[in-house]
Amino acid sequence: MTSRERIIIASNHKEPDRIPFDLNGSVCSGIHINAYRNLLSYLGIKKEEIYIHDPMQQICWIDEDMLQKLKVDTRLILSNPPSSWKLEIKQEGGDKYFTDQLGITWRMPKKKGLYYDLVGSPLKDAKIEDLGDYPWPNIKDPERIKGLKEKAKSLHEKDYLLTIERITGGFFEASFWLRGFEDFYCDLASNPDYACALMDKLLELEMEYWDLLFSEIGDYIDVVLTANDLGGQDGPMISLEMFKKYIKPRMKRLNSFIKKKKPDVFIFFHSCGSVYDLIPDLIETGIDILNPVQVNAKNMDTKRLKKEFGDVLTFWGGGVDTQEILPNGTPQQVKDEIKRRIDDLAPGGGFIFATVHNIQPDVPPGNIMAMWEALQEYGKY
How much is the average pLDDT of 334-363? Answer: 98
Which tens digit of pLDDT belongs to each residue from 3-55? 999 999 999 999 999 999 999 999 999 999 999 999 999 999 998 899 999 99
Given a cut of 90, whether residue 163 has pLDDT beyond it is yes
Give SS3 for 180.
Answer: coil
**Number of other residues whose CB lies within 10 A of the CB of residue 319:** 32
- State the pLDDT at residue 156: 96
- Alpha helices in the chain, H assignment, sequence order: 3-11, 33-42, 64-69, 148-157, 173-179, 181-190, 192-217, 240-242, 248-261, 279-285, 302-309, 325-328, 331-345, 365-378
Phi-psi sector, 112: left (phi>0), alpha (psi -120 to 50), beta: left
Which tens digit of pLDDT belongs to each residue from 254-289? 999 999 999 999 999 999 999 999 999 999 999 999
- All structural domains of the chain: 3-85+123-378 (3.20.20.210)
Q: What are the phi and psi torsion angles at 156 (to 5°)? A: -65, -40
Element holding 52 (H helix, E strand): strand 52-54
- State the pLDDT at residue 76: 97
Q: How far apart are CA 74 and CA 350, in angstroms?
A: 16
Given a cut of 90, whether residue 188 has pLDDT beyond it is yes
Angle separating helix axes 302-309 and 331-345, nearest 10 degrees: 20
Written as one string, the DSSP assignment of 228-260 is ---B-SSSBSS-HHHIIIIIHHHHHHHHHHHHH
| Among 82, 80, 78, 100, CA closest to 90 | 100
Phi-psi sector, 327: left (phi>0), alpha (psi -120 to 50), beta: alpha
- State the pLDDT at residue 252: 98
What's the alpha-carbon Rg for the chain, to the nearest Å? 20
Which tens digit of pLDDT belongs to each residue from 55-114? 999 999 999 999 999 999 999 999 999 999 999 999 999 999 999 999 999 999 999 999
Q: How far apart are CA 333 and CA 335, in angstroms?
A: 5
Degrees to nearest 5, angle at CA 46 with 42 and 49: 120
Q: How far is CA 267 from CA 282, 285, 301, 315, 380, in A?
A: 11, 10, 22, 12, 25
First to last CA, the chain: 13
- Residues written for the chain: 381
| Among 122, 74, 79, 128, CA closest to 102 | 122
Element holding 161 (H helix, E strand): strand 161-164
How much is the average pLDDT of 134-163? Answer: 96
Q: Count the helices and strands in the chain (H runs, E runs).
A: 14, 13
Kindly report whether the global pTM for this prediction surpasses the value 0.85: yes
Answer positive or negative: Cα dihedral of 261, 263, 265, 269. positive
